[in-house]
Amino acid sequence: MLARPTTPAARLIAALDTPDPARAAGWARALGRDVGLVKVGLELFVAHGPSAVAAVAEAGTPVFLDLKLHDIPNTVAGATRSAATLGVAMLTLHAGGGEAMIAAAREAAEKAAGTAGAMRPMLLAVTVLTSLGAADLAATGVAGGPAQQVLRLGQLAIAAGADGLVCSAHEVAPLRATLGPDVALVVPGIRPAGADAGDQKRVMTPEQAVAAGADWLVLGRPLTGAPDPAEAARAIAASLA
């Protein structure tokens, strides 16, 4: 499994949010060693599948496949096996899929990586989507609000075999305090000081997120929207040094 980042650049994950694999591969080449991983999300994967992963992986930077899997254990195990075969370094699934689903994914990832002689993907659970507020959660039958639900699902996911969680910057400190130092925390919604927040509402700077306990930071538009993405990544890494 991927080791925890030991340099500021290794903490950075570039979200390659585009349906165009050539564009994504271009960003991956441009960012090269200035980030730790590149993230392929649903938009690109649904459009171009494994060939998009291969196109991006050619640049040599480990790939984070952000598919947020959520289905019955047997199906998620199969999807995890397929992802492990692609050689991705990180894979996401929904904690709300439950203990058996997460355990099945972990077992499938270990077996598939062992068979292929490949690195086992780090399994990251998504707790509560940051697009959901207290009222949205209540409408789905979850009382108590997002903060409580994030902790409950976070504990469940880690106990079931997830290696870490994807969480908002504002959830990092309570999750780190509850789950301890070994759990990987990956945090989107990051904006360098003075940057445009776009549609992200509750943002933190890279320094604040790392100080709160984040291991990896997911950055999309602050990198891909910059005139020189690699230079933008180096500036963010410098702010963390």
Q: Any catalytic annotation for residue 68? A: yes
Could you tell me which of 150, 159, 160, 156 has the C-alpha nearest to residue 129? 150
- Candidates 57, 95, 166, 169; binder of ligand C5P (CB under 6 A) is 166
Buried b (16+ CB within 10 A) or exposed e, 14-46: bbbbbeebeebbbbbebbeebbbbbbbbebbbe
Task: Output phi, psi for 232, to 5 deg.
Answer: -65, -40
- Candidates 5, 36, 62, 189; binder of ligand C5P (CB under 6 A) is 189
Task: Kindly state the tokens that stand for 223.
Answer: 């990198």
Kindly tell me which of 14 and 77 has the beta carbon lying closer to ligand C5P.
14
- Candidates 200, 207, 208, 235; binder of ligand C5P (CB under 6 A) is 200
Does residue 60 come out as left (phi exceeding 0), alpha (psi in the -120 to 50 range) or beta? Answer: left
Kindly state the smallest distance separating residue 198's Cβ from ligand C5P, in Å: 6
Per rule CB under 6 A, is residue 239 in the interface with ligand C5P?
no
- Candidates 219, 232, 233, 237; binder of ligand C5P (CB under 6 A) is 219
Kindly state the smallest distance separating residue 180's Cβ from ligand C5P, in Å: 22
Active-site position among 39, 68, 111, 201 = 68
Per rule CB under 6 A, is residue 70 in the interface with ligand C5P?
no
Q: Which residue type is seen at 148?
A: Q
Could you tell me which of 154, 178, 180 has the C-alpha nearest to residue 165? 154
Show which residues are catalytic.
68
Binding site for ligand C5P (CB under 6 A): 15, 17, 41, 130, 166, 168, 188-189, 198, 200, 218-222
